């Protein structure tokens, strides 16, 4: 009798540990997705501003282009995430109905609206970095330098955070994110400068 009680207690502890591990794993995935979304917002908006800045040195033009990139990117991310998670939602509902005889446990289902909002917010937070760096600087060279410096710092931070959440080597991950961001800004600036100087 005592042996059965001990076994039952052990089984309950194991189930509790598995649920906790699953909860932490799910939370880490959400956080990692948020970091990746913020990184997308950071790199795409900074690259857009650098590209526009290559041919138009006016601060208002750069800020407007960056803001347009923020809004367009956030909307795109939200819609894409909503459609993706809603597809997952439909699949899980169908599976629950098959397994539970038509009963659906709504608390275990993903929320498309929540996922869309989180994705848009993460993108926007990343996109704000280059916008804030350039907002109050009228001198063109100082503005470009401030954008590069702010984006570099944010890229290192996002790379480090993504590595910690994904349990990857921190130095490699941060370096990869940093070099990728620099490359995106450099290629956008260079190609826009080249095309702009010949066609505008």
SS (H, E, C) 75-139: HHHHHHHHHHHHHHHHHHHHHHHHHCCCCCCHHHCCCHHHHHHHHHHHHHHHHHHHHHHHHCCCC
Q: What is the pTM of this model?
A: 0.78
Q: What is the mean pLDDT of residues 28-56?
A: 86
Higher pLDDT, 151 or 98: 151
At 189 the pLDDT is 92
Please, which pLDDT band fits residue 27 given cuts at 50, 70 and 90?
A: low
Higher pLDDT, 26 or 17: 26
At 200 the pLDDT is 55
Which pair of structure tokens corresponds to residue 74? 């956030």
Separation of CA 16 from chain center: 31
Alpha-carbon distance of 110 to 138, in angstroms, equals 46
Q: Tens digit of pLDDT for each residue in 110-136?
A: 788 888 888 899 999 999 999 999 988
DSSP type of residue 108: G
pLDDT at residue 7 tops 80: no
Which pair of structure tokens corresponds to residue 145? 């330098």
Separation of CA 63 from chain center: 21
At 33 the pLDDT is 74
Q: What is the mean pLDDT of residues 168-186?
A: 89
Residue whose pair of structure tokens reads 């490359």 in the numeric block: 183
Q: Tens digit of pLDDT for each residue in 58-97?
A: 889 999 999 999 999 999 999 998 998 889 888 888 888 8
On whether the CB atoms of residues 176 and 139 are closer than 8 A, the answer is no
Q: Tens digit of pLDDT for each residue in 14-24?
A: 444 444 444 44
At 142 the pLDDT is 92
DSSP type of residue 139: S
Q: What is the mean pLDDT of residues 101-116?
A: 80
Left, alpha or beta for 101 (phi > 0: left; psi -120 to 50: alpha)? left
Q: What is the mean pLDDT of residues 123-151?
A: 92
At 148 the pLDDT is 93
């Amino acid at each position: 009798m005592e042996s059965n009680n001990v076994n039952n207690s052990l089984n309950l502890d194991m189930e509790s540990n598995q649920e906790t591990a699953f909860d932490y794993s799910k939370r880490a995935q959400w956080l990692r997705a948020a970091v990746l979304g913020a990184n997308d917002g950071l790199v795409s908006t900074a690259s857009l501003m650098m590209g526009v800045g290559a041919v138009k040195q006016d601060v208002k033009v750069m800020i407007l282009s960056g803001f347009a990139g923020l809004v367009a990117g956030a909307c795109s991310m939200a819609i894409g995430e909503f459609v993706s998670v809603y597809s997952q939602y439909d699949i899980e509902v169908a599976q629950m109905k098959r397994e539970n005889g038509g009963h659906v446990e709504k608390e275990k289902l993903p929320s498309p609206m929540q996922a869309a909002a989180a994705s848009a917010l993460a993108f926007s937070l990343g996109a704000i970095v280059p916008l804030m760096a350039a907002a109050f600087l009228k001198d063109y060279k100082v503005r470009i330098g401030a954008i590069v410096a702010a984006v570099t710092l944010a890229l290192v931070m996002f790379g480090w955070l993504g590595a910690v959440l994904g349990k990857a080597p921190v130095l490699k991950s941060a370096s990869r994110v940093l070099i990728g961001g620099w490359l995106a800004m450099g290629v956008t600036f260079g190609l826009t400068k080249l095309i702009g100087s010949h066609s505008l």
